[in-house]
Structure 1
Amino acid sequence: MFRWTNFPLVSFCICLLSVLGSAFANEHGSNSITVFTIEGNDAILPCSLTTNIVQKLFDWKKDGQTEVFMYDAGVDYNNGRAGQDVQFKGRVSHFPEQLRFGNASIVVRNTKVTDSGNYTCDFPRLQPRETFHIKLLVNHTLKDRSEDMSVPASKPNIRIFDVTKNGVVLQCEVHSASPHVTLQWQDADGQILRAEEPQNSDRQGHHNIILQTTVTSTNTNCFRCILKQEDINHMTDVNITVSDKLFEDKCGQSVIWFSGWIVGVLTLAALLAMLKGVMYITNQRRKRNQQNPGLAESSGTPLKMCV
């Protein structure tokens, strides 16, 4: 259970957060505040009324459904109450000495990135009902990498690799990256694009990766390649804009190709018909010659005119 070790300092922090929360609420018309922290640190989520809440009930939830902490007239998740989500079990406490002053704030210890989200502090039995909204943002820990040979990879190289009848082929590549790198193509709306199987090569722990995708004319011509190195929490991306003319040229090439195919088929058909006609005439002459041998002999002698 949380113990009050530095009353003046913590009280000052709580009061400051409460004032900021009230100012934010007045500006936006709802009880809301954003709390920032670094992964591994403790985070205080402020919530308070102006009346004694020792005999009241308040319930903290994350994203509208995950049970974070519940207090009901002296009974809470740290002294026998069941129902707390396993994600927060043993990591959340409140300020018992401050309940008589209306303080329903909680402390989330040893925060994780997955703790980030939208929290509510709800007093369901009050008339009218009171609900406070707090957004928690937990950033990754900044690590000392002075002895780590791993370095964030630079931005990937992207280019238009080819224009085919199927679309415009985009290529994204990164060289000599360490640790392992993954590449991903997305459109302007953040939708992941289907890509070819990445080409990977590894030399002494340094990775070379090439990833290609084929795009067609859609409602956007802006695309981006995202590079991720999850081992060191690194991500970067590069954008590319494909000219509408390339999509038009691709369509034109398809029409030309189809037209050429049609012309080729018609030409071949004409040649076959001509060949068939020649063979037919030759066969007919051969049959006549076989039926009238004398005609074949005399056909070569010119006729003399009678005087």
Structure 2
Amino acid sequence: CFCLPDPGVIRVVVFEDDDAVLPCSFGSVNIEHQVFDWKKDGQEVFIYDSGRTYGDGLSGQDKQFEGRVEHFPDLLKSGNASIVIRRTEVTDSGSYTCDSVQNGVSTTQSRIELIVDPVLIEGRPLILAAAPEPYVTILDQTNDRALLQCEVRGIFLKPEVEWQDSSGNILPAEEPQVSERGGRYSLQTTVTKTDRYRCVVT
């Protein structure tokens, strides 16, 4: 079961060498001229300051993340401070915070627990079950809604994937997307934060 606590910690699970999107929303406020700061267990991951970022006028980023972290410039107007970590490593696993900074005072907007699972067999994850465990990611969210993605990996026969609410009702979703890398299927849906949801794979 995947729950959306508000406030709470969002759990993001990816496989090593995949990209990880860490969501952070300021509501509908335009943040193009604001400051937001991403940290991992005290390490500096990414900072945005009125158009400047690490490598573009700002220094101080931890070497672990140099050249691998990006934000979404086109989404700043809608309050989206999410970032993507490219080519994740197992050592990227940990607790992340997204803070807004105003007049030197930081306020946490999002808390993320990132888990990067190692790839175990010939570049493919080791999955023993007939129906692999799905991985859920929040791609975007507002105060009352969230865009969820359910991803099934490491299989080569197309699975049946669907989103259900707490009553077992199937939710409307986009057509499943097949990764170019093969063995990966994803299904997206937009939900409200007033219920509990789960991704079912058969």
1:106 partner amino acid = I
Q: 1:107 to 1:128 in 2, by over 3 A?
A: closer
Structure showing greater Rg: 1
Q: Give the SS at the match of 2:77.
A: helix
Per the normalisation by structure 1, the TM-score is 0.37
Q: Which residue of 2 aligns with 1:78?
A: 55
| AA of the residue aligned to 1:119 | Y
Supply the distance in 2 between the matched residues of 1:34 and 1:85 (Cα, whole angstroms).
Answer: 22
Secondary structure of 1:25's counterpart equals coil
2:82 aligns to what?
Answer: 105
Preserved contact between residue 78 and residue 93 of structure 1 (Cα < 8 Å): no
Question: What TM-score, normalized by structure 2, do the two folds share?
Answer: 0.55
Q: Which residue of 2 aligns with 1:8?
A: none
| Residues 70 and 115 (structure 1), Cα distance of their counterparts in 2 relative to 1, 3 Å cut | same
Partner Cα separation in structure 2 for residue 58 and residue 128 of structure 1: 9
**Runs of at least 5 residues in structure 1 that lack an aligned partner in the other structure:** 1-19, 146-307
Pairing 1:137–2:115 present: yes
Unmatched 5+ residue regions in structure 2?
A: 124-202
SS of the residue 1:98 aligns to: helix
Deviations 1:147-200 (A, max 9, x none): xxxxxxxxxxxxxxxxxxxxxxxxxxxxxxxxxxxxxxxxxxxxxxxxxxxxxx
Q: Which has the higher helix share?
A: 1
Question: Matched residues in 2 for 1:140 and 1:115: separation?
Answer: 11
In the TM superposition, 1:1-307 aligns within 5 A as 24-26=4-6, 30-50=7-27, 51-63=29-41, 65-125=42-102, 129-144=107-122
Q: Output the CA distance in 1 between the equivalents of 2:50 and 2:64.
A: 24
Amino acid at match of 1:114: T
Larger strand fraction of residues: 2
Change in Cα spacing, 1:96 to 1:78, as seen in structure 2 (3 Å) is farther
- CA distance in 2 between partners of 1:82 and 1:36 (Å): 29
Structure 1 vs Structure 2: percent identity of aligned residues? 48
- What CA RMSD, in Å, does the superposition of the two structures yield over aligned residues? 2.1
Q: Aligned pairs, how many?
A: 120
Report if aligned partners of 1:43, 1:111 keep a CA contact under 8 Å in 2.
yes
Letter in 2 for 1:131: Q
Which amino acid is the alignment partner of residue 19 of structure 2? D
| Deviation at residue 128 of structure 1 after TM alignment | 9.0
Q: Note if contact 1:41-1:109 (Cα within 8 Å) is conserved in structure 2.
A: yes
AA aligned opposite 1:49: F
Cα shift at 1:125 = 1.4
d(CA) in 2 for partners of 1:44, 1:79: 21
Secondary structure of the structure 1 residue equivalent to 2:114: strand
- Aligned residue identity for 2:14: T
- 1:134 maps to a residue whose letter is I
Name the structure, 1 or 2, with higher relative contact order (CA <8 Å, separation 6+). Answer: 2
